[in-house]
Amino acid sequence: MTLTFEDFPPGRFGTFGPRHVTRDEILAFAAEFDPQPMHLDEEAAAKSMLRGLSGSGWHLCSLMMRMMADGFITRAASLGSPGVDEVRWLSPLRPGDDLMLDVDVLEARTSRSRPGLGIVKFKCSVRNAAGQTLAEMTSPILIKRREGAV
């Protein structure tokens, strides 16, 4: 069943995961997209304010997106997103972390200019197995409304 705008009332939508993160994934992402010492070199990372090898915040955002896609977006009548309102990196992503993604609907409203679709604002929080929040993201997604709902 395809999820439509009407399937996203404000409140907790769900929790998705786990997603295990390996040292090799952290190193590969950093080498390709964010080649800073704290993401590539364990000795340099130990001397950094992160006190150890950590994944890039952009890697964490990519993992969040994948968890959203696997969890619900690929089943939704999504038309894409106009952007991200806010991303906050709160704690480092570490090799061996098992991630869970908590998804809340902050608001849902029908588009004034295109009544056949709605705008759902999501807040996604990713946490490790110890319950420590690593990042939060707030983003609207455009989602088709159910036929006959207009």
Residue 54 amino acid letter: S
Q: Please list the residues that pair with 104 across neighbouring strands.
A: 12, 123
The encoded tokens of residue 6 equal 């009407």
Q: Are residues 103 and 37 in contact, defined by beta-carbon separation less than 8 angstroms? A: no
pTM of the model: 0.94
Share of the chain above pLDDT 70, in %: 98
Give the model's confidence band at 148: pLDDT under 50 very low, under 70 low, under 90 confident, else very high.
low
Which of 141, 123, 11, 18 shows the shortest CA–CA distance to 71? 18
The encoded tokens of residue 82 equal 């106009």
